[in-house]
Structure 1
Amino acid sequence: MSICKYLTAATLATALSVSIASAATFTIDPGDVTVTGKDFCFPGDCKLDGAVLGNSFDLNTVGETASVDDLFDWKVLLTKPWASGGGKYSVNVDLNFSSPSNAAAGGSGYAGFITVLGTITGGILKWTAGSGSVDFGDGHVLSYSFKDAAELGFGTGTTTGATFTLTEAPAPVPLPASALLLLGGVGALGGIRARRKRQS
């Protein structure tokens, strides 16, 4: 009986001698997209506005991927509700991460839209530099790819997304030797207690 307890304690100590890396939460902060270009609408004015909505996702192991469908928000802003027209723009964005540590990524491309009476709107988004990697400096490295879009529908707004893949993670951290000694001691105490019960 005591031998089994010793073996159990030794097995547990060996299994825990290297801790498994825990899941990391990646948090993208809200922000703005820089939009520059030309547009024309009548009556009134119009322009394209872009924003980073922000998001959080967890990745556990190297190679795991997260798809964020509503990372970017796009709106055609009209000064008159029944305006018609269109625009063509260059877009630039910086993604700022606040966890697991501060880091940044970026992208650029072009976008355009047409709207009819501010009701039916079509648009295109093409990232010409919309992929890369983010090094968090703590051992985590993400690769990312922004999603292109081509849409037609009612209203003047839509969202687009991106995919993120964990390409590197910190090495597992060994447990302190004191923790292993504690586990061994607990197993030994269990064995001694069982032996005393049998003898009494």
Structure 2
Amino acid sequence: MSFCKYLTAASLATALSISIASAATFTIDPGKVTVSGKDFCPFADCELIGEVAGGSFDLDTVGQSASLDDLFNWEVLLSKPWATGVGAYDVSVNLNFSSPSDASAGGSGYAGFATLAGKISGGFLKWVSGSGTVDFADGYKLSYTLADATALGFGTETTTGASFTLEQTPAPVPLPASALLLIGGMGALGGLRARRNRKA
């Protein structure tokens, strides 16, 4: 390969390495769900608690989506294992992202449960404001939707999730003027050398 061709290939490789973006990892930290409301469990105490389990996912293309099906953990706490009762609550949450940079999102809604002897339980979750966008300082933007749910089964625990879509990626970083001049100068030198070799 001639010196001129080598410089051209190196210049193209440099430009491509700057314009191609790698996948970004989005990380949600564990946290608490704020739950407030009323419950009624005769001869025992009961309450609904919620936690953000946290999680990570990778996205690299605008329009690409990911889901975290177990983002939230929900549990009906019973002071007696055989307790029977019902509850109705308002819920709100902040999702705190720690990567690719610090950011937060939120949601609010309502939830309820019924449990029979602490063995068979049912419940529902409805997010009233459970979607929006998250802007990151480094130029990424996500849209998100928190999942509504209904559940019926054995025990007093369940999980719910959320989906995320990449709406924007950081703008490509342009080559600095000095780098462009350097590449141009190296190309010119390569051309002169090739011309001299042909004359010789």
Identity %: 63
1:137, CA displacement in angstroms? 2.0
Correspondence 1:72 to 2:53: no
Partner of 1:173: 173
| Aligned CA-pair RMSD | 2.3
Partner of 1:108: 108
Aligned residue type for 1:136: F
1:9, CA displacement in angstroms? 4.2
1:72, CA displacement in angstroms? 0.6
* Alpha-carbon distance in 2 for matches of 1:6, 1:19: 23
Q: TM-score, normalised by structure 2?
A: 0.85
* Alpha-carbon distance in 2 for matches of 1:161, 1:9: 51
SS in 2 for 1:81: coil
* Alpha-carbon distance in 2 for matches of 1:111, 1:11: 61
Partner of 1:36: 36
SS in 1 for 2:98: strand
* Alpha-carbon distance in 2 for matches of 1:47, 1:8: 70
1:16, CA displacement in angstroms? 3.1
1:8, CA displacement in angstroms? 5.2
1:15, CA displacement in angstroms? 4.3
SS in 1 for 2:41: strand
* Alpha-carbon distance in 2 for matches of 1:175, 1:46: 61
Partner of 1:13: 11
* Alpha-carbon distance in 2 for matches of 1:8, 1:125: 62
Aligned residue type for 2:12: T
Partner of 1:52: 52
* Alpha-carbon distance in 1 for matches of 2:105, 2:143: 10
Q: C-alpha deviations, 1:136-163, integer Å up to 9, x for none?
A: 1221111000000001011100110000
Q: C-alpha deviations, 1:154-199, integer Å up to 9, x for none?
A: 1100110000111011012235555974xx69xx7xx99xx9xxxx
Aligned residue type for 1:109: G
Aligned residue type for 2:5: L
* Alpha-carbon distance in 2 for matches of 1:9, 1:64: 36
Aligned residue type for 1:45: D
Q: C-alpha deviations, 1:9-32, integer Å up to 9, x for none?
A: 413422431431121111111111
* Alpha-carbon distance in 1 for matches of 2:13, 2:64: 24
Unaligned stretches of 5+ residues in structure 1: 196-200
Aligned residue type for 1:127: W
* Alpha-carbon distance in 1 for matches of 2:47, 2:90: 12
